[in-house]
Chains A and B, each alone.
Chain A
């Protein structure tokens, strides 16, 4: 069963704009991970944020985690056409496999 739910399901923006995707989950977690998937390809790991962390940065990516609300957000700043992909959050409960949300399809228009 899926634990994470991304919002929005689809997002279309102009190049240079920021893109924000949200993820909600249901149970306590060890960490939460964000992945990108280009069409027809496997998943690429973007950021892992542990349950005791609140914010993490990696280049143009910023991830926040609010364990009290059981939610996370992924911000992509100064988006590029190459950022066009599906983005998934996944919750890690420690000993069980990752559980993925439904994903957000991001389209960045040049």
Chain B
């Protein structure tokens, strides 16, 4: 079945570091990918919609300069957390949907746990 690969799965870094997270659709094309953030024991909150070849669409309250999204190909989207601070520590999950069909489920990566010291 369709698979989405997310890398890295765990990052621990110092405050002020920029961290890049990759999301790849392995066996289908995804013109649109989604980035979510999840706090412990809470639901997924959509951060932004990543559109291949164009600018991402950010949800209200999400800083576009803080969370840079690049979707350069039909199988890869990246999220860069710039100058990360402890409050950015969270679980980040990407997902993608096969562009070829309607009424299809979203496929999720395994998530990236980001810990900023």
Which of chain A's residues has its CB closest to B113's CB? A40
Cα distance, A25 to B49, chains bound together (Å): 22
Indicate if the CB atoms of A30 and B107 lie closer than 8 Å: no
Indicate if the CB atoms of B44 and A50 lie closer than 8 Å: no
Cα distance, A48 to B42, chains bound together (Å): 22
* Interface bracket on A: 20 to 34
Tally A-B pairs: CB < 8 A: 51
Residues of B within 8 A of A2 (CB): 43
Indicate if the CB atoms of B93 and A42 lie closer than 8 Å: yes
Shortest C-beta distance, B30 to chain A (Å), equals 13
Residues of B within 8 A of A41 (CB): 110-111
Chain B 38-72 per-residue mask, 1 if CB under 8 angstroms from chain A, else 0: 00011110100100000000000000000000000
B89 within 8 A of A: no
* Interface bracket on B: 20 to 34
Cα distance, A90 to B34, chains bound together (Å): 14
Indicate if the CB atoms of A100 and B103 lie closer than 8 Å: no
Indicate if the CB atoms of A102 and B6 lie closer than 8 Å: no
Residues of A within 8 A of B75 (CB): none
Q: Which A residues contact B (CB, under 8 angstroms)?
A: 2, 30-31, 33, 35, 40-45, 48, 50, 88, 90, 92, 94, 97-103, 105
Shortest C-beta distance, A58 to chain B (Å), equals 12
B29 within 8 A of A: no
Contact of B103 among A45, A48, A90 (CB under 8 A): A48
30 interchain pairs, CB-CB under 8 A: A30-B102, A31-B103, A33-B106, A35-B108, A40-B91, A40-B111, A40-B113, A41-B110, A41-B111, A42-B4, A42-B6, A42-B93, A43-B95, A44-B108, A45-B107, A48-B103, A48-B104, A48-B105, A50-B103, A88-B43, A88-B44, A90-B106, A92-B103, A97-B46, A98-B34, A98-B106, A100-B43, A101-B43, A102-B42, A102-B43
